[in-house]
Amino acid sequence: MINALRPLSAALLVLCAGFSASALAHNPMCECKAIDAEQIKCTGGFSDGSGAPGVTLDVIGYDETILVPGKLGADSSLTFKKPGAEFYVLFDAGPGHVVEIDQADIEAP
């Protein structure tokens, strides 16, 4: 009887593992808006509604130099002076949790 239950136990274990992984899944989110002609504010978080304080948010030039190194504050946001060079914003919460926002996609005030 015990040997007959082993395949069922294995199937239940795999099924439960699949449900727990999907329950824990959350996608990174980041939005940047121009406050005025000089300043940009980016806010980051996750699709489950959690914030992202302390997560790296760098402003990077098209030549891959870091123009503004940063981390999101306690309110999960970072405000920075708009660089003179072309740039993109990189929200990096770790492998699989990265968002890039090109300067062309940043909303005007």
Mean pLDDT of the chain: 85
Residue (of 48, 47, 89) closest to 67 by Cα position: 89
Using CA atoms of 108, 38, 105, 103 in order, give the dihedral in degrees to the nearest 10. Answer: 160
* Domains, the chain, ordered by start: 27-105 (2.60.40)
Sign (positive/negative) of CA torsion 57, 59, 64, 69?
negative
How does pLDDT run across 93-107, given as a tens digit for each residue? 999 999 999 999 998
Q: What is the pTM of this model?
A: 0.76
Examine the pLDDT at 79 and tell me if it is beyond 60.
yes
How does pLDDT run across 37-63, given as a tens digit for each residue? 999 999 999 999 999 999 999 999 999
| Percent of the chain with pLDDT strictly greater than 90 | 73
Query: Where does the pLDDT of residue 3 fall: very low under 50, low under 70, confident under 90, or very high at 90 and above?
Result: low
